């Protein structure tokens, strides 16, 4: 009797143990999706995910939002633990690291709803250049959720108070920028800056590749060769830009790293021109009650290239360690979520350059977006290199040695170049 | 299991107490293993690997430690940390002791003043940092207060490489001195007034009474203050992360070892190097703490 009971229990346990396996083979696929916290976008994400699940009963979506400041740490530690999301919305800054470490799966065009990769590129305005942010060796590794580049905002009231016309007098070259900024700068009796005309953004090292390097590129140089992973820093072009930044702080005394962050200063009415916000800055500027106009980025008078600041973007990327069926489901979801560019623009201010959206009357009549798109179309992405943040850290250190520490460019630039080359060599070897 | 408990029930009372004692400490032991021992051991193991966070670690032995010896950022962070430790310990010990001696005296409004003096301890360090960043704007309140003495319209408290580490030390000490003052005050309160009175009767003045009677009896308090303040100083991270330009700048003058660990681990994806720096920092704190505790085992003064 007891032997029969034992056999029955064992048989029952075996059946129970087999149930998940059988179910897993034919049952729904679960896609773990991680997105940044961007409050206006979350309800739309949730609505579209519910719609996607209803249309695809064989796919479940686990939707997780992660605060911006925790994103890098959370994603890296999750991936390190062998888990992490199957589909995630990642900025292009560290994409070189992710690609280099084999984390990224190539886009599955068919699963995403396209005939092939070329069809994806064709579906976007400036597709070849704007999707280049997720392209390595001719293979696409992401679908864009937000394309961005910085425009120049002018505070019309501060311009008019200085007797300037914000449209006609807005500087078109960096040489003019100095003259106009000087007219808009107000100092108190002790010489302290009360209002800045314009200033660069000094706070974060990434701006060395988002702002400083594009100014070098306008002159025909480029600090980083992302294909060969080589730095070219001790060059005449870098010297010209570095001299300009140095004079801005130490000779012309128009700004510097010691002052309030430019974005905050512009929003509080203490900075007349700000050139480091994308179209996502518009709601903040409007909320701050600032009467503004938007302008293209200045170029050098002797510019060789017509690029503005560096493009950057957020892309849907798929974890290469996910199971093949999960990857396919993830690309299907990514294709679905990127099929509503106008709604994401309306609700959350996120720009995807889908041709049907960009060519719509709605977009063409927008007061600012054509300006952003025009600059984006002629600009390049920041270098997509491994050890991106380590390189920007080294560049910022070199900048500060010259501008804050007063060291000679003759000493610092060759050392910067060597340091960055060492970092790139080590990262390439990993 | 049940038979073991039954046999336990038949065992001697000493055995029963021992087993039950073990059962009661088990949660703490498990907690210690999971949250202290495991992270320490894994940190040690990670320090022996090339670990980018984005793919599994690869064993490299002592290579990370060898690399640290010629790592410019690490060597810089060592000197920054040592400077910060000196700046946030010795002045804090002296000033917090002086404050404690002041508040040990009776004067009108003492309790109110003491409460007011203690308030910088209450907000979190991140809040303190943000408030001080506003005060330390180039033409901010601090510049205006010092203008009569310096004649300067702008002072770059946080972005001048020579001034920025001092600013960090000032902010830290502003918020920690009241805390250690309270510790000293507790130590002073524990000294019987008869001993002071006896010293005064024997002809000692107040300074002699303090140096010869009270200070030796404050030795355990001094060791506690020294150990805790040193450990906190070695682990400095929050202030430097929150308000130094470019997180550790300018030119890395605020890149403490704590900040470097964060940079290497979570910004540069060099977790193996970050773990190696952590182990070095751990060893440094251990040596300093053991040395300080060793001092307390010297000549003992007791109230017995």
Contact B53 A98 (CB under 8 A): no
Same domain, B106 and B200: yes
Section B49-74 average pLDDT: 90
- Model confidence at B303, in pLDDT bands (50, 70, 90)? low
**Cα separation, A262 vs A202, whole angstroms:** 8
Phi, psi of A194 (to 5 degrees): -100, -40
**Subunit contact A188:B52, Cβ cutoff 8 A:** no
Q: Do B29 and B109 reside in the same domain of the chain?
A: no
DSSP state of A354: B
A224 phi and psi angles, rounded to 5 deg: -130, 125
Q: List chain A residues with CB under 8 Å of B245.
A: 202-203, 257-258, 400
A405-411 long-range CB contacts below 8 Å, 24 or more apart?
A: A405/B161, A405/B250, A405/B251, A406/A250, A409/A239, A409/A242, A409/A243
CA nearest neighbour of A273 among A176, A184, A374, A379: A184
Residues 6+ apart with CB under 8 A from B115: none
The answer to whether A145 and A89 have CB atoms below 8 angstroms apart is: yes
Q: Where are any strands of DSSP class E within chain B? A: 49-50, 58-59
Q: Is residue A156's pLDDT more than 90? A: yes
Type and span of the H or E element at A7: helix A2-26
- Asked, for residue B138, whether it belongs to a domain, the answer is no
Q: Which residues of B touch A200 (CB under 8 A)?
A: none
Gap from B251 CA to chain A (nearest CA, Å)? 5
- Cis omega (within 30 of 0) for bond into B250: yes
In a domain, residue B132? The reply is no
Distance CA A206, CA A70 (A): 17
pLDDT value for A409 = 96
Q: What average pLDDT does this structure show over A106-134?
A: 94
Whether B142 and A386 have beta carbons less than 8 Å apart is answered as: no
* Beta bridge pairs of residue A312: A148
Task: Give the residues across from A299 on adjacent strands.
Answer: A173
> Does residue B29 lie in a domain region?
yes
Say what the ipTM of the complex is: 0.81
Mean pLDDT of the B213-231 span: 89
The residue among B7 and B278 whose pLDDT is bigger is B278
What confidence tens digit (pLDDT) does each residue in B27-38 have?
999 999 998 899
**Domain co-membership, B231 together with B85:** yes
In a domain, B136, yes or no: no
- Report the mean per-residue pLDDT for chain B: 88
Same domain for B100 and B15? no
pLDDT tens digits, A349-383 = 899 999 999 999 888 888 888 888 888 889 999 99
The per-residue pLDDT for range A44-74, each reduced to its tens digit, is 999 999 999 999 999 999 999 999 878 888 8
User: Which of chain A's residues have a Cβ under 8 Å away from the Cβ of B159?
Assistant: 256-258, 404
pLDDT, one tens digit per residue, over B89-103 is 999 999 999 999 999
**pLDDT value at residue B250:** 92
How many domains would you assign to chain B?
2
Question: Which of residues A127 and A4 earns the better pLDDT score?
Answer: A127
B117 and B12: one domain?
no
Q: What is the pLDDT of residue B301?
A: 56
Q: What is the per-residue pLDDT for A22?
A: 37
CB nearest to A192's CB, from B51, B139, B245:
B139
Best probe of the B interface among A191, A206, A393, A406, by most B CBs < 10 A, is: A393
Q: How many angstroms separate the CA of residue B247 from the nearest CA in chain A? A: 8
For residue A249, the 8-state DSSP code is I
Yes or no, beta carbons of B52 and A97 under 8 Å apart: yes
Same domain, residue pair B24 and B74: no
Distance between B118 CA and the closest CA of chain A, angstroms: 30
CB B54 to CB A80 under 8 A? Answer: yes
Pair (B36, B95) in one structural domain: no
Q: What residues have CB less than 8 Å from A280, skipping those under 6 apart? A: A146, A148, A349, A350
Per-residue pLDDT, B80 = 96
- Residue B129 within a domain: no
- Looking at the structure, tell me whether residues B9 and B104 fall in a common domain: no
Nearest Cα residue in chain A from B268 = A390
Give B113-164 pLDDT, tens digit per residue.
989 999 998 998 889 999 999 999 888 899 989 888 888 888 899 999 999 9
**What pLDDT is stored for residue B300 in this prediction?**
57
Closest CA–CA distance from residue B240 to any residue of chain A (Å): 14
**Residue B7 confidence (pLDDT):** 56
* Mean pLDDT value across residues A83-106: 91
- The shortest CB-CB distance from A79 to any of B53, B161, B246 is to B53
A-chain CB neighbours of B262 within 8 Å are none
Between CA A277 and CA A153 the distance in angstroms is 8
For B265, nearest residue in chain A (alpha carbons): A73
Verify whether the Cβ–Cβ distance B266 to A191 is below 8 Å.
no
Q: Is B241 on the interface with A (CB under 8 A)?
A: no
**Pick from B143, B245, B268: which is nearest to A257 by CB?**
B245
In a domain, B186, yes or no: yes
- For the domain that residue B210 is a member of, what is the CATH number? 1.10.3720.10
Residue A250 CB partners (closer than 8 Å, separation 6+): A256, A403, A406
Q: Do B268 and A387 touch (CB under 8 A)?
A: yes
User: For residue B258, is pLDDT > 50?
Assistant: yes
Q: How far is CA A337 from CA A44, A90, A332, A354, in A?
A: 10, 15, 9, 13
| Conformation bin of residue B78: beta by default, left when phi > 0, alpha when psi is -120 to 50 | alpha
% pLDDT > 90, chain B: 52
Contact assignment for A405 to B50 by CB distance below 8 Å: no
CB contact under 8 A, A397 and B54: no
B277 shares a domain with B236? yes
The residue with greater pLDDT, A263 or B5, is: A263
SS3 B303: coil
Residues B283 and B212 in one domain: yes
Q: In B, residues 128-167, which contact A (CB 8 Å cutoff)?
A: 137-139, 143, 147, 152-154, 156, 158-161
Does the structure show a pLDDT above 90 at A11?
A: no
Cα B17 to Cα B23: distance, rounded to the nearest angstrom: 10
Residues of B in contact with A102 (CB under 8 A): 55
* A409-429 vs A236-246: helix crossing angle, rounded to 10: 120
Q: What is the pLDDT of residue A24?
A: 41
The answer to whether B268 contacts chain A (CB < 8 Å) is yes
- Whether B9 shows a pLDDT value over 80: the answer reads no
Closest-CA residue in chain A for B245? A203
Express each pLDDT in A182-230 by its tens digit. 999 999 887 888 999 999 999 899 999 999 999 999 999 999 999 999 9
Q: Which of B53, B252, B271 sits opposite A397 (nearest CB)?
A: B252
Q: Which domain holds residue B18?
A: 2-46
Whether residue B244 lies inside any domain: the answer is yes
What's the rounded Cα separation, in Å, for the pair A176 and A99?
A: 41
Between A and B, how many residue pairs show a Cβ–Cβ distance under 8 A?
Answer: 99
Q: For the segment B268-302, what is each residue's pLDDT rounded down to a tens digit?
A: 989 999 999 999 999 999 999 888 888 777 655 55
Pair A129, A377: CB distance under 8 Å: yes
- Show residues of chain A in contact with B269, CB under 8 Å: 76, 94, 97, 101, 387
Burial class (CB in 10 A: 0-12, 13-18, 19+), B219: middle
Q: Give yes or no: residues B290 and B179 share one domain.
A: yes
**Measuring CA to CA, how many Å separate B74 from each of A223, A419, B68, B71, B275?**
25, 14, 6, 5, 12
Return the residue in A192, A320, A412 with the most chain B beta carbons within 10 A, the one to mutate for interface testing. Answer: A192
- Rounded to an integer, the average pLDDT of B209-238 is 89
Asked if the structure places residue B52 within a domain, the reply is no
* Strand, helix or coil for residue B277: helix
How far is residue B77 from each of residues A230, A287, B64, B253, measured CA to CA in Å? 27, 42, 16, 8
pLDDT reported for residue A82: 73
What tens digit of pLDDT does each residue of A145-155 get? Answer: 999 989 999 99
Comparing C-alpha atoms, which of B289, B284, B242, B235 is closest to residue B258?
B235
Are B34 and B183 found together in one domain? no
Query: CB distance A396–B54 less than 8 Å?
Result: no
Q: Which residues lie closer than 8 Å to B88 by C-beta, 6 or more apart?
A: B169, B172, B173, B176, B229, B232, B233, B236
**Which residue segments constitute the domains of chain A, with CATH numbers given?**
28-149+312-377 (3.40.190.10), 151-310+386-429 (3.40.190.10)
Give CA–CA dist A153/A169, Å, rounded.
Answer: 13
- 């017995």: which residue's tokens? B304
The DSSP code for A393 is H
What is chain A's mean pLDDT, rounded? Answer: 90
Q: Which residues of A touch B246 (CB under 8 A)?
A: 202-205, 393, 396, 400
């Amino acid at each position: 009797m007891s032997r029969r009971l034992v056999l029955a229990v064992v048989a029952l346990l075996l059946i129970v143990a087999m149930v998940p396996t059988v179910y897993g083979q034919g049952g729904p696929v679960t896609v773990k999706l991680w997105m940044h916290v961007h409050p206006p976008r979350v309800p739309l994400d949730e609505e579209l995910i519910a719609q996607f699940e209803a249309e695809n009963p064989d796919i479940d979506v686990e939707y997780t939002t992660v605060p911006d400041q925790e994103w890098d740490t959370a994603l890296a530690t999750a991936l390190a633990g062998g888990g992490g999301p199957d589909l995630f919305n990642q900025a292009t800054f560290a994409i070189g690291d992710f690609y280099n470490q084999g984390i990224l799966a190539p886009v599955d065009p068919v699963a995403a709803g396209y005939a092939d990769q070329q069809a994806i590129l064709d579906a976007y305005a400036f597709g070849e250049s704007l999707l280049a942010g997720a392209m390595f060796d001719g293979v696409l590794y992401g679908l864009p959720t937000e394309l961005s580049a910085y425009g120049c905002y002018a505070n019309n009231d501060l311009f008019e108070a200085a007797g300037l016309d914000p449209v006609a007098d807005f500087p078109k070259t960096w040489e003019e920028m100095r003259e106009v900024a000087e007219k808009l700068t107000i100092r108190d009796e002790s010489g302290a800056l009360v209002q800045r005309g314009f200033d660069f953004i000094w706070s974060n090292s990434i701006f060395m590749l988002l702002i400083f390097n594009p100014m070098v590129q306008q002159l025909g140089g480029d600090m980083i060769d992302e294909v060969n992973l080589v730095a070219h820093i001790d060059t005449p072009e870098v010297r010209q830009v570095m001299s300009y930044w140095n004079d801005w702080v130490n000779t012309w005394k128009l700004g510097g790293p010691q002052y309030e962050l430019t974005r905050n200063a512009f929003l509080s009415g203490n900075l007349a021109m700000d050139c480091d916000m994308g179209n996502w800055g518009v709601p903040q500027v409007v909320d701050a009650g600032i009467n503004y106009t938007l302008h293209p980025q200045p170029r050098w008078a002797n510019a060789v290239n017509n690029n503005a600041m560096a493009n950057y973007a957020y892309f849907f990327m798929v974890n290469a360690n996910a199971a093949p069926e999960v990857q396919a489901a993830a690309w299907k979801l990514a294709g679905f979520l990127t099929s509503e560019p106008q709604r994401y623009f309306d609700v959350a201010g996120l720009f995807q350059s889908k041709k049907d959206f960009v060519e719509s009357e709605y977009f063409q009549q927008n007061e600012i977006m054509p300006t952003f798109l025009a600059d984006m179309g002629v600009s390049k992405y920041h270098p997509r290199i491994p050890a991106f943040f380590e390189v920007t850290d080294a560049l910022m250190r070199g900048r500060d040695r010259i501008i804050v520490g007063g060291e000679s460019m003759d000493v610092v630039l060759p050392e910067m170049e060597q340091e960055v080359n060492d970092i790139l060599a080590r990262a390439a070897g990993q | 299991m049940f038979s073991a408990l039954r046999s336990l029930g038949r065992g001697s009372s000493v055995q029963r107490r021992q087993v039950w004692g073990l059962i009661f400490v088990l949660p703490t032991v498990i907690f210690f293993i999971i949250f202290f021992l495991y992270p320490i051991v894994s940190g040690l193991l990670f320090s022996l690997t090339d670990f980018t966070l984005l793919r599994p670690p690869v064993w490299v032995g002592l290579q990370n430690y060898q690399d640290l010896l010629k790592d410019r950022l690490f060597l810089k962070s060592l000197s920054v940390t040592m400077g910060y430790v000196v700046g946030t310990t010795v002045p804090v010990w002296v000033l917090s002791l002086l404050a404690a001696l002041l508040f040990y005296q009776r004067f009108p409004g003492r309790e109110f003043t003491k409460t007011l003096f203690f308030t910088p301890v209450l907000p979190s360090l991140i809040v303190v940092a943000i408030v001080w960043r506003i005060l330390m704007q180039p033409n901010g309140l601090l510049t205006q207060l010092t203008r009569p003495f310096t004649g300067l319209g702008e002072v770059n408290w946080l972005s001048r490489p020579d001034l920025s580490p001092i600013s960090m030390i000032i902010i830290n000490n502003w918020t920690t001195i009241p805390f250690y003052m309270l510790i000293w005050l507790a130590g002073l309160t524990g000294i019987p007034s008869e001993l002071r009175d006896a010293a005064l009767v024997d002809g000692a003045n107040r300074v002699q009474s303090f140096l010869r009677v009270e200070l030796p009896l404050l030795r355990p308090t001094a060791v506690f203050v020294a150990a805790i303040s040193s450990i906190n100083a070695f682990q400095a991270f929050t202030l430097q992360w929150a308000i130094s330009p470019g997180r550790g700048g300018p030119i890395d003058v605020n890149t403490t070892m704590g900040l470097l660990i964060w940079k290497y681990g979570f910004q540069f994806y060099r977790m193996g190097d970050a773990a190696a720096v952590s182990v070095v920092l751990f060893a440094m704190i251990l040596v300093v703490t053991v040395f300080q505790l060793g001092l307390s085992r010297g000549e003992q003064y007791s109230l017995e």
